[in-house]
Amino acid sequence: MPDSPLAVLQQRLSVPSRQLGAPAPEGDALRALLQAAIRVPDHGKLVPFRLIALRGEAKRAFGERLAALALARDPAMSGAKQEKERNRYAHAPLVLVVVARIAQDSKVPPIEQQLSSGCVAYNLLLGAQALGYGAQWLTGWAAYDAEVATLLGLAPNEKITGFVHIGTPQAEVPERERPALEEVYREWTPA
């Protein structure tokens, strides 16, 4: 259904970050993507999210610092694992850190605020694909690490939702098996 209004959803797939190269959206295209991505459900109008861009030299410096943190925790870490940590964010030209800002004193439960932030990350995936780019939402140990949060300047009420890697696919990504609708859907009927 190429002309379907649901085509972006029906064809959505993640492009592995290692297969993302230049270019990434910039200028007006990036601004439009970001503006679309933040149009998410937001119970209480709390805006429980924010974005941090990692690009160029800053992205490389971030990878170096993560490798140093990992090595400090595991001094016996192999050279190959150190290199993996150093280059974790090096492939895609743009990495957006999606941050959940949780208002603890709100009537809106924290899970709803986190889900709103997750919707931002998902909208980035959909929007990037709609613009002809590829993207992958990753977490990994760095998303849950207090020192990484400090490195990124996160406040105590903020948590990393994920790192969304965006760029141009360098190879075709095969479709993966998806669940049959019948496996995940049913209608509730009263007993």
pLDDT, one tens digit per residue, over 23-78 is 999 999 999 999 999 999 999 999 999 999 999 999 999 999 999 999 999 999 99
SS3 assignment, position 97: strand
138 marked as part of a ligand binding site: yes
What is the structure's pLDDT at 27? 98
- C-alpha to C-alpha distances, 107 to 61, 136, 158, nearest whole angstrom: 39, 32, 17
What is the structure's pLDDT at 49? 98
14 marked as part of a ligand binding site: yes
106 marked as part of a ligand binding site: no
CA–CA dist 132, 25 (Å, integer): 9
Q: Is pLDDT at 144 greater than 60 in this prediction?
A: yes
60 marked as part of a ligand binding site: no
Tell me the per-residue pLDDT of 106-130, one tens digit each, with 9 for 90 and over: 999 999 999 999 999 999 999 999 9
Contacts of the segment 74-81: beta carbons below 8 A, 24+ positions apart: none
Please list the residues that pair with 95 across neighbouring strands.
Answer: 54, 165
CB 88, CB 145: distance < 8 Å: no
Q: How many residues are listed for the chain in this entry?
A: 191
For the structural domain made of 14-55+91-170, what CATH number should be given? 3.40.109.10
12 marked as part of a ligand binding site: yes
CA–CA dist 141, 144 (Å, integer): 6
What is the structure's pLDDT at 127? 98
What percent of the chain shows pLDDT beyond 70? 99
Q: Is pLDDT at 1 greater than 60 in this prediction?
A: no
Q: Is pLDDT at 143 greater than 60 in this prediction?
A: yes
Instruction: Mark out the alpha helices in 47-144 (DSSP H runs).
Output: 56-73, 79-87, 110-130
Classify residue 30 as exposed, middle or buried by CB count within 10 Å of its CB (0-12, 13-18, 19+): middle
Span 144-161, mean pLDDT?
A: 98
139 marked as part of a ligand binding site: yes
43 marked as part of a ligand binding site: yes
Q: Is pLDDT at 2 greater than 80 in this prediction?
A: no
> What's the whole-model pTM score?
0.96
The domain limits of the chain are 14-55+91-170
C-alpha distance across the termini of the chain, in Å: 38
Place of tokens 């990495």: 95
What's the mean pLDDT when you consider all of the chain? 96
What is the structure's pLDDT at 3? 81
Tell me the per-residue pLDDT of 66-90, one tens digit each, with 9 for 90 and over: 999 999 999 999 999 999 999 999 9
CB 4, CB 95: distance < 8 Å: no
Classify residue 109 as exposed, middle or buried by CB count within 10 Å of its CB (0-12, 13-18, 19+): exposed
Place of tokens 């009927």: 189
DSSP-assigned letter for residue 44: T
